[in-house]
């Protein structure tokens, strides 16, 4: 990794080399140009490529076809802004080009698609106060389609939204956290649509309840919302129904 600084302009660059026995070697760079127009604002322009070789199971499922590795080229522009002392915001837009995407077909076999394109934008606002109150809201919009038929990829939601709020109940000991998640509709490989849904989760957690012991108790899907996720061709049904209201207790001890 090499870093060069020119006043308020930074350049971060890195490179990764991969060598597999059954595939050609590959070199993938990642470059970020970071500009600070003033102390509380940051603009980032990011470019990168990545590589993923098919794993052992994927190569078996490909049957008589030799799978190629997937590759992706990413472009991203990010603007980050501090607002007063309590808030931090960010806005990002991106465009990804995926080549030789490994896709599961209706007959259960794997094939390389010509490729897919993904374009989207993300927004996040986070607040932190001295009394320990913390909040975060985020929203993401994305459109992903294959380059052959210009069809939306399966299990690819267009809208994602999340709201988190953490409140200190006992100073530095006990916290309550509420999380709301929204996911828009998605298509299964059978062409059946999984409807959009929103769930609410609640967690009570304590750090150092006693020395080195953390504890938490959570209720997921508080309102017992019924929703499904798209299934793969390995399943008989097109949609998989998810759990309703569930409970979890967790204890973590650090030695």
Q: Which of 119, 140, 166 is the last residue of a domain?
A: 119
Complete DSSP assignment for 152-193: BPTT--SEEEEEEEEEEEETTTEEEEEEEEEE--EE-TTSPE
Let me know if residue 178 belongs to a domain.
yes
pLDDT of residue 149: 78
Number of domains comprising the chain: 2
Same domain, 14 and 110: yes
Higher pLDDT, 134 or 106: 134
Q: 26-66 pLDDT, tens per residue?
A: 899 999 999 998 888 999 999 999 988 888 888 877 777 88
CA–CA dist 101, 145 (Å, integer): 11
> Do 104 and 200 lie in a common domain?
no
The confidence score (pLDDT) of residue 173 equals 82
- Whether 1 and 115 map to the same domain: the answer is yes
Does residue 169 share a domain with residue 108? no
Query: Residues 158, 53: one domain?
Result: no
* Domain hosting residue 177, numbered range: 154-255
Confidence of residue 122 (pLDDT cuts 50, 70, 90): very high
Check whether residue 83 and residue 161 sit in a common domain: no
Domain-ending residue, one of 102, 119, 136 = 119
Q: Three-state SS for 112?
A: strand
Q: Is residue 200 part of a domain?
A: yes
State the pLDDT at residue 1: 45
Is residue 12 a part of any domain in this protein?
yes
- Put simply, whether the predicted model's pTM sits higher than 0.75 gets the answer yes
pLDDT of residue 157: 94
- Distance from C-alpha of 86 to C-alpha of 91, rounded to nearest angstrom: 17
136 domain-assigned: no
Nearest to 78 by CA among 111, 33, 44: 44
Please say if the pLDDT value at position 152 is more than 60.
yes
Same domain, 107 and 165: no
Q: What is the pLDDT of residue 202?
A: 97
Per-residue pLDDT, averaged over 101-113, amounts to: 75
166 in the same domain as 240: yes
Q: Examine the domain organization and report whether 9 and 107 are in the same domain.
A: yes
Q: Looking at the DSSP assignment, which residues form a beta bridge with residue 73?
A: 49, 97
Mean pLDDT, residues 156-180 taken together: 92
Give yes or no for a contact between 43 and 79, defined as CB atoms under 8 angstroms apart. yes
Same domain, 161 and 108: no
CA-based nearest residue to 89, from 157, 152, 140, 137: 137
Residue 122 or residue 154, greater confidence: 122
* Bridging pattern class, strands 87-99 and 134-146: unpaired
Residue 1 located in a structural domain: yes
Does 1 lie in the same domain as 110? yes
Kindly state the DSSP code that residue 68 receives in the 8-state scheme: P
Q: Which of 62-71, 73-82, 165-174 has the highest mean pLDDT?
A: 73-82
**149 falls within a domain:** no
Average pLDDT for the chain: 88
Instruction: Identify whether residues 87 and 41 lie together within a single domain.
Output: yes
Confidence (pLDDT) at 106: 64
**Residue of higher predicted confidence among 232 and 199:** 199
In a domain, 34, yes or no: yes
141: Cβ contacts below 8 Å, ≥ 6 apart: 120, 121, 122, 158, 159
| Alpha-helix residue ranges (DSSP H) falling in the chain | 56-61
**What is residue 107's predicted lDDT score, i.e. its pLDDT?**
65
d(CA 189, CA 106): 7
* Residue 174 counted as domain residue: yes
């Amino acid at each position: 990794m090499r870093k060069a600084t020119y006043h308020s302009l930074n350049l971060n660059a890195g490179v990764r080399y991969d060598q597999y026995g059954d595939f050609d070697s590959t070199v993938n760079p990642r470059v970020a140009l970071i500009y600070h127009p003033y102390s509380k604002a940051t603009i980032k322009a990011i470019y990168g490529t990545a590589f993923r070789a098919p794993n052992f199971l994927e190569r078996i499922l490909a049957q008589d076809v030799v799978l190629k590795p997937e590759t992706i080229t990413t472009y991203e522009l990010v603007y980050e802004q501090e607002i007063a002392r309590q808030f931090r915001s960010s806005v990002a837009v991106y465009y990804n080009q995926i080549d030789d995407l490994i896709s599961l077909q209706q007959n259960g076999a794997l094939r390389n698609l010509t490729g897919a394109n993904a374009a989207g934008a993300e927004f996040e606002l986070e607040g932190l106060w001295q009394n320990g109150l913390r909040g975060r809201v985020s929203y993401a919009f994305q459109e992903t389609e294959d380059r052959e038929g210009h069809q939306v990829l399966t299990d690819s939601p267009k809208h994602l939204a999340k709201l988190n709020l953490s409140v200190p109940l006992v100073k530095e000991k006990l916290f309550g956290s509420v999380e709301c998640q929204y996911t828009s509709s998605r298509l299964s490989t059978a062409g059946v649509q999984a409807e959009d849904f929103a769930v609410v989760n609640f967690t009570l957690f304590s750090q150092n309840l006693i020395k080195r012991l953390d504890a938490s108790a959570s209720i997921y899907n508080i309102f017992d919302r019924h929703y499904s996720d798209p299934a793969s061709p390995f399943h008989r049904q097109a949609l998989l129904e998810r759990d309703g209201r569930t409970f979890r207790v967790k204890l973590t001890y650090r030695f």
